[in-house]
Amino acid sequence: MRPRLQHLRIRRLAWQIAALLVALAATFALLRAC
Amino acid sequence: MRYTRTQASLWLAAYVLVVSTPLLAALAGPLPAARGFVVELGVALGFIALGMFWAQFALTGRFRAVAAAFGMDAMLQFHRQAGIAAYVLVLAHPLLLIAAQPDFLEFLDPRTSFTRAAALYAVIGAATLLIVTTLHRLSLGLPYEWWRRVHAALSAFVVFVGLVHVLRVAYYMADPLRQALVLAGTSATLGLLAYTRYLRPYRLGRRPWRVALVRALSGDTWSVVLEPVGHGGIAHRAGQFAWVSVGPSPLQAEQHPFTIASAAAAGGPLEFAVRELGDFTSSIGTLTIGEKAFVDAPHGAFVLPDDASRPLFLFAGGIGISPMMSMLRTLAQQRDARRVTLFYASGDAEHRPFSDELEPLGGQLELRVVAIVERPPPDWRGEAGRLDHDTLMRLLPAPDPDGDYLICGPDPMMDAVEAHLLECGVAPDRIDSERFNIA
């Protein structure tokens, strides 16, 4: 694995994508509930 | 080969697409009656979690095209974080549903359906075990190969139960087309697992290698040369690594990631430098000539930069010298004229694999070697200390912004070198690094 900076960058990227996916799920729920 | 922004963005877009497939499938076609926001969110998170679990199999399948864009180590790190995120979503799915509508507790009630309740408890347990055994593998004392098998079995179980759950609930996935899509997605991921764990080893088994030479390099480090038997071997670049297994069959033998120390080549024998670290590596000296071996290679994106007009700076700590040796030997073979500076740090003067080869290489290359030893003997003429901030300030106060910087060694060393280079204004894309122990 890469040094700290690279690690933090990948970790951040993974959680940013997870947040994007949760936002997608929330949009789905909004579309369905409205 | 470092990734380009376009390549990386395309792969990330593909990842998001794969993960959102079950959710998009739910929206495609006739829709069932709408429920409240929280219920729909809970359901949507369940679909996302299933998609994330699918993608997990592709992330660790050692697929060269993907790994070349990011580096295998980065992929594993991403897999790890995505796994934790998927687990959070798996838990959020029932919690949100039950919070919004307590009737959903019925799913977990064995009196309503014993099989369903048992399967759902089992899948939550399996997902929890997946996370705990991975994050605490070392403190739990789980051997790597044992963990790898359990990890594959547990994740296959989670995905399988996820599929059955979606098909049985059949609220969104009620029509055959959408059911077929979810079935296809799950089958594809389980297929990937079968490919990685069985088909690839089987194919490796048809291209065997043999141990051709084992010699002690220095102290606890051994050089192992493997040669192809009945085939031409593999083409690799300087700095790449291989998954090596020794034994009669690649299906049974444990695989270990070893960096190739020999020069880049289109085929032929491969040399690996192996340090005695754990269970398997400790027995490396007992390998016998002629023993059968299997090589899954080449892997890794930590390679010799192509541009010969830029000066090259290599930072090696201990066994991290292996990829650097491959690079130096390659440069010597190619009569490359670029300026190379090698910072070679080690604990003591005896444990410096390949140090005897660096001098003759210096005659063929524009090579300057800076040897740094933490516990130097009285007659030591190189640098004393560690490759840390202070040493770097002294030895490399103004790094050339036009250079390429490659780092391989223990974490504290890599962190120190990276921080120093960035502080001195070297662009991040000129710095490449790899931790040796990716397991």
pTM of the predicted protein model: 0.77
Averaged pLDDT score across all residues of chain B: 90
Q: How does residue B225 score in pLDDT terms, banded at 50, 70 and 90?
A: very high
At A1-34, the pLDDT tens digits run 344 456 667 888 999 999 999 999 999 999 998 8
- What is d(CA B290, CA B18) in angstroms, rounded to the nearest whole number? 45
Cβ atoms of residues B436 and B71 within 8 Å: no
Percent of chain B beyond pLDDT 70? Answer: 95
pLDDT at B14: 93
Instruction: Retrieve residue B250's tokens.
Output: 């690649």
Q: Which residues of B130-164 are buried (b: 16+ CB within 10 A; e: fewer)?
A: bbebbeebeeeebebbebbebbbebbbbbbbbbbe
Residue B198 has pLDDT above 90, yes or no: no
**In 10 A of CB B33, how many CB atoms?**
6
More confident residue, B317 or B436: B317
Instruction: Retrieve residue B221's tokens.
Output: 């480090």
Residue B439 has pLDDT above 50, yes or no: no
Q: Average the pLDDT over B306-310 and give the result.
A: 94
- What is d(CA B73, CA B52) in angstroms, rounded to the nearest whole number? 19
**In 10 A of CB B194, how many CB atoms?**
15
The shortest CB-CB distance from A28 to any of B27, B38, B438 is to: B27
pLDDT at B54: 95
Residue B438 has pLDDT above 70, yes or no: no
**In 10 A of CB B431, how many CB atoms?**
24
At B233-287, the pLDDT tens digits run 999 999 999 989 888 887 766 778 889 999 999 999 999 998 887 667 777 878 8
Residue B195 has pLDDT above 80, yes or no: yes
Contact between chains at B34 and A20 (C-beta distance less than 8 A)? no
Cβ atoms of residues A5 and B72 within 8 Å: no
Instruction: Retrieve residue B136's tokens.
Output: 């605490």
Residue B61 has pLDDT above 80, yes or no: no
Report yes or no: B418 at the A interface, CB cutoff 8 Å.
yes
**Exposed, middle or buried, B306 (CB in 10 Å: 0-12/13-18/19+)?**
exposed
- What is d(CA B343, CA B408) in angstroms, rounded to the nearest whole number? 11
Report yes or no: B52 at the A interface, CB cutoff 8 Å.
yes
Q: Average the pLDDT over B320-341 and give the result.
A: 95
Cβ atoms of residues B324 and B351 within 8 Å: no
Look-up of token digits 């098909």: B167
pLDDT at B376: 94
Contact between chains at A3 and B415 (C-beta distance less than 8 A)? yes
Which residues, numbered 1 to 34 in chain A, qualify as contacts with chain B under a Cβ-Cβ cut-off of 8 Å? 1-7, 10-11, 13-15, 17-18, 20-22, 24-26, 28-33
Distance from CA of B114 to the nearest CA of A (A): 30
Q: Average the pLDDT over B397-409 and give the result.
A: 94
Asked, as a colleague might, if the bond just before B305 is cis with ω within 30 of 0, I would say no
- What is d(CA A18, CA B80) in angstroms, rounded to the nearest whole number? 12
Q: At B382, which amino acid appears?
A: G
Cβ atoms of residues B1 and B64 within 8 Å: no
At B132-179, the pLDDT tens digits run 999 998 899 888 778 888 999 999 999 999 999 999 999 999 899 999
